[in-house]
Amino acid sequence: MQQRAIHFPETLVLVFWRNLILASPNLYKGDLPIVNTTLADRTVKRAFNFNAGPAALPLPVLERIREELLDFAGTGMSVMELSHRSPEFEAVNNKAEEALRRELAIPEDYSVLFLQGGGSMQFAMVPLNLFVAGKPVDMIHTGAWTAKAIEELKKLAEMRMAASTEADKFTRVPRPDEIKLSPDASYVHMCTNNTIEGTQFTEMPQTGAVPLVADMSSDILSRPLDVKRFGLIFAGAQKNLGPSGVTVVIARKDLIERGSDKIAKILQYRTHAKEKSLYNTPPTFAIYVLGLVAEWVAQQGGVTGIEKINSVKAKLLYDAIDSTGYYKCPVEKESRSKMNVVFRVASGDEAIEKKFAKEGEAAGLIGIKGHRSVGGMRASIYNAVPLAAVESLVSFMREFERKNG
């Protein structure tokens, strides 16, 4: 595993000793010990994290969190202890929204909401708020996550299958000419990146006046985005935006007024828009981290800069898969994801694949076992996964092939 130096703040060490002495006064008598506040000789093992989610966070963000963990902005409290009604947290909330608006160029006629329940909650909230009776929802079915959306949608609304690649085992996304949309649909639902199947849309469907709803949980903030093409975007944070616990919804303001007043108040988008995501206690820590991640993206050159880095990482890994014949990627090249790279050994030997994952983990390459529903291997190379991690994985792949090929 990587060896990274970590400094332990003096306050953490002193608090430990203070609490130990208060708990056991006879255990230690005398002055507090003199401590080395840098402890540069101590290291922390940082694995290369290829997990699909919760996923890697940028190291500078983690370091910033560590620095502010005990005393946020001079409050004497952790950000996790702040009242969500306090001016300090309102500033955190506003800063996160502003950073996200800036990086994604979100227009003013769109609300940005910080909700809970993950993308799975949105499978229910979207139809509750946007479905219009007599106007079926057009579904573009591309894998496990749209399957879950379909399951909820059928309970709440009428649905029409506009396109599906299930017959191809979801090894690609539909081509534009395969997507048959209705001009009077309530909305069109799609998932822009499929984490399990390793597919991603590079071109969004043209939906005209019909709102396009996109589940972007696994590729938001990874590339430039024309928000105006969408009626509503939702994304669980735990891939590219931050830790688990917060879900971002970006919705056209006129569209979120569509929902009936008979919907439970907490499930109405307008409730959260009116209260700036503070209707009830929000996931405060996750929102704080999301703001830091958005700032970090800005430092990488924004989404344009991030996209270039992601393209380099993806090309390096796909080239390694395609180059020898020992590995294979089941996804059509035009549909390959830059976020979740799925591959197998060409022989299909599951024992060899299990060995690959086990030895990879021992080498500090964590999370490269494929999803249980499809098997094989998967490397999730989200924004915060550094190029060095992909280079290390490619080196491991070559050595593994040399030993086992």
The residue among 239, 271, 299 that closes a domain is 299
Query: With contact defined as beta carbons under 8 Å apart, do 342 and 197 qualify?
Result: yes
| pTM given for the model | 0.89
| Spatial separation of the C-alpha atoms in residues 9 and 3, rounded to whole Å | 19
Same domain, 371 and 308: yes
Convert the pLDDT of each residue in 163-190 to its tens digit.
Answer: 999 999 999 999 999 999 999 999 999 9
Section 278-285 average pLDDT: 98
Per DSSP, 369 falls in state: B
In a domain, 73, yes or no: no
Decide if 58 is inside a domain.
Answer: no
Task: For residue 28, name the pLDDT band (cuts at 50, 70, 90).
Answer: very low
Q: Tell me the helices (H) and strands (E) count for the chain, helix number first.
A: 10, 16
> Tell me: the pLDDT tens digits for 315-365?
999 999 999 999 999 999 999 999 999 999 999 999 999 999 999 999 999
Judge whether residue 11 has pLDDT over 90.
no
Residue 347's domain is classified under what CATH number? Answer: 3.90.1150.10
Indicate if 319 and 227 belong to the same structural domain: no
Instruction: Tell me the per-residue pLDDT of 73-91, one tens digit each, with 9 for 90 and over.
Output: 999 999 999 999 999 999 9
Any domain includes 149: yes
State which of 268, 299, 330 marks the end of a domain: 299
At 34-43, the pLDDT tens digits run: 333 343 445 6
- Is the pLDDT confidence value at 4 over 50? no
Whether residues 383 and 317 fall in one domain: yes
- What is the domain extent for residue 9? 2-46
Is residue 29 very low, low, confident or very high in pLDDT (cuts 50, 70, 90)? very low
DSSP 135: B
Amino acid code (one letter) for 269: Y
Q: Does the pLDDT at position 16 exceed 80?
A: no
Indicate whether 97 belongs to any domain.
Answer: yes
**Whether 184 and 249 share a structural domain:** yes
Q: Are residues 229 and 375 in the same domain?
A: no
234 within some domain: yes
How far apart are the C-alpha atoms of 166 and 400, rounded to whole Å? Answer: 33
What value does the mean pLDDT of the chain take? Answer: 91
End-to-end C-alpha distance for the chain, whole angstroms: 25
CB 50 within 8 A of CB 371: no
Q: Residues 343-364, buried b or exposed e (16+ Cβ, 10 A)?
A: bbbeeeeeeebeebbeebeebb
Whether 256 and 119 map to the same domain: the answer is: yes
State whether 279 and 327 are in the same domain.
Answer: no
Q: Do residues 272 and 308 both lie within one domain? A: no
Task: From 299, 331, 362, give the residue that closes a domain.
Answer: 299
Q: For residue 228, name the pLDDT band (cuts at 50, 70, 90).
A: very high
Catalytic residue numbers?
Answer: 145, 215, 239
CATH number at residue 237: 3.40.640.10
Let me know whether 310 and 163 are in one domain.
no
Which tens digit of pLDDT belongs to each residue from 132-166? Answer: 999 999 999 999 999 999 999 999 999 999 999 99
Same domain, 331 and 393: yes
Q: 288 with 368, same domain? A: no
Asked whether residue 320 is assigned to any structural domain, the reply reads: yes
Tell me how many domains the chain contains: 3
Q: What pLDDT, on a 0 to 100 scale, did the predictor assign at position 22?
A: 46
Does residue 136 have a cis peptide bond before it, meaning omega lies within 30 degrees of 0? no
Judge whether 42 lies within some domain: yes
205 inside domain: yes
- Same domain, yes or no: 312 and 274: no
